[in-house]
Structure 1
């Protein structure tokens, strides 16, 4: 196959696959604006409402390692097709649910399908694109996922207001289920004529060893903590608590709040490709950019949570949302790390491990915010959100600490390998804060 034909096929496969991911993000974030209606429909309070997101994201996080193993065993085409079917079925069940337990079951099914999309998409990208384009295509994919998030803000609010709960979610679920047929027939695991990576059955007793082997790689561990720290804050706001914060604590109308949540999405859509292009050309800048984002995010939360009375100027809230929106683009560094330090045969497992990070943090933070909102309810709308959202800052500080620890350890491994003359994914320059006593200093890059 000619290079031009291979390039066109790669982009076609990616286009078909990324639509499943966009749909998954739409369904995942649909409760961001539908939360108040869900609370009324099922007769639940803030903590029970938070369980919807915690359950969905908890299932997502729990499924990441199994998904990686499934992708390595059966290939991304089959797994992505199954994901579209599960997402559609879960959303249609959610549309028809008339009780809280049934609605929870529906979100669990949706979360299971959602969990299978991103790892499958990344494996397809790794199989069809050269390594130098990987970060760029992943960043574009993440940015396009923002289109699904954007559709779940103002457009979804208007649909819910005009056609109602049941029809809105039935249409979305039905279209996703139907699209699975296209994914199943048109996707290819590898380019035409390329050998398919060996996928021998993995005995159950070997699964733990496979996961442990990927986890022992410092690049995988660093990717986990980068993802943990960068993507969860905009996810918590977009999935559930941003809308109530803007309407209850800041006193905005539902339509204005929906539009403001769109800032999180637009920032990610614009920042994703720019971020990907930069780290694609200069991979040595990956971690400095992550550290810069984390520092800015910590400062942002300190200002928002420390504002007297809990109601900062709206312009400041918009700036904060712009800063936090870059967490999604920054989180793509985690997958580039998994791709660089793992073989194609096992990169699905490593990617699944990395993806657990951000969604574990999202689960912890979303549940903590819901519980703190109920505890702090007597303090008034603005102050109770100050107290509740402090959980996000605490999780962010913990993740930032662990990222710093594993960045130093991963650098030590790369510097030592370069000093031995081995090929490394990124040429690094030794710094004063590296462990130079244990790591030979290579020639300057």
Structure 2
């Protein structure tokens, strides 16, 4: 079967994106119920920070192993297993009787989530041609932003109507159904189609390719300046945004600006609109300029200045400015798609999966560190005015964003002629 010319590839595309949409919504949805969890389970802000961090810790720690395994054994099985794990973890979260089960549930969700992006990229590369792949990868990034969007006002209204447990339980069921759907779409149906299109006498053995040792691959990646540059870029744009949105953004609006939960969720939604615009617009600007580094450095400067603005106004910027800051920080998160454009142009096709996992790991290591560290700062200033604790807390994402800017400056970009020739021969 010619996958890249079959109409069936669009069924694959729709199924994978539906699953990605559902999974991404569960990265930040728990941030909507931070105060409820603190009240229901009598836990501190540090414990809530740990809840978010443990999910992203699992995600970050598994990125490189998942990239290696998926390159060697194929992405389909790992995507299906990851979807089921995310669904089971979400179900467990919805019925958790104590904070220990909550932690276990988020660990399972993080483990499942860790398989999604790298395998999504590999699956799309198998089913679509090069010119289609780039465009659809942008659509996948936008789908992720829509998933985040669902976890704002719509999910918040659902929680306000039914309480927090039913929405998470229902989402867990839907994710398990998505796992079943993926099995039929990615495994069972393609096997039938392969048999139908396979010639009767085609028993020729496939040539065995000699695989490079994992240690050699990792040593080469970890010693590569360009790989570390992409790691830091993602560290500064993705982790600060995901870590804050997924834990303290809603409580910040409620405690510092006296917003309702729905009102605070609407501010988070502004950031998500920025993220939806960031990927396609910045990619378009990059292609028009013929460079990735210059627009990406500009994005990192904007993100760093945005987090610094919270410090300039002592943790409570003017209301109108808060709208702009959320939008710009979200825009930076969307524009982080340029990280993978750098990877694609800089590394051999056999290494793209591993380096993509390494770069993605950077974003989620900072997403691990930020919620927990932010929570400890808030606990330390518990008796002070709310804006005081948040003022000192905002020093953390500002520092992380500075590291992202350093990563942008470290990117080594070849001349456009060399890049174009490399793309042609790839």
TM-score by length of 2: 0.88
Counterparts of residues 2-151 of structure 1 (less than 5 Å): 6=5, 8-151=7-150
Q: CA deviation at 1:27?
A: 1.1
Partner of 2:269: 262
**CA distance 1:38–1:394, change in 2 (3 Å):** same
1:354 aligns with 2:359: yes
Partner of 1:234: 241
Please state whether the residue corresponding to 1:371 is helix, strand or coil.
Answer: helix
Partner of 1:332: 337
Q: CA deviation at 1:252?
A: 1.3
Please state whether the residue corresponding to 2:394 is helix, strand or coil.
Answer: helix
Partner of 1:321: 326
Of 184, 190, 207, the residue aligned with 2:214 is 207
Of 286, 292, 312, the residue aligned with 1:286 is 292
Gaps of at least 5 residues in structure 1 are 427-445
Please state whether the residue corresponding to 1:379 is helix, strand or coil.
Answer: coil
CA distance in 1, matches of 2:133, 2:284: 10
CA distance in 2, matches of 1:34, 1:200: 50
1:248 aligns with 2:272: no
CA distance in 2, matches of 1:170, 1:218: 44
Of 373, 376, 395, the residue aligned with 1:371 is 376
Counterparts of residues 419-438 of structure 1 (less than 5 Å): 423-425=421-423
Partner of 1:299: 305
C-alpha contact (below 8 Å) 2:343/2:352 kept by paired residues: yes
Partner of 1:182: 181
Counterparts of residues 382-397 of structure 1 (less than 5 Å): 382-397=387-402
TM-score by length of 1: 0.85
**CA distance 1:126–1:343, change in 2 (3 Å):** farther
**CA distance 1:347–1:99, change in 2 (3 Å):** same
Please state whether the residue corresponding to 2:259 is helix, strand or coil.
Answer: coil
C-alpha contact (below 8 Å) 1:136/1:276 kept by paired residues: no
Aligned length: 412
Q: CA deviation at 1:392?
A: 0.7
Gaps of at least 5 residues in structure 2 are 199-205
Q: CA deviation at 1:384?
A: 1.2
CA distance in 1, matches of 2:267, 2:420: 49
CA distance in 2, matches of 1:275, 1:9: 31
When structure 1 is superposed on structure 2, of 91-100 and 72-81 the one drifting more is 72-81
CA distance in 2, matches of 1:18, 1:224: 25
C-alpha contact (below 8 Å) 1:136/1:277 kept by paired residues: no
CA distance in 1, matches of 2:299, 2:313: 21
C-alpha contact (below 8 Å) 1:250/1:382 kept by paired residues: no
Q: CA deviation at 1:260?
A: 1.1
Please state whether the residue corresponding to 1:312 is helix, strand or coil.
Answer: coil
When structure 1 is superposed on structure 2, of 209-218 and 284-293 the one drifting more is 209-218
**What are the Cα deviations for residues 383-402 of structure 1, in whole angstroms up to 9, with x where unaligned?**
21011111110111123223
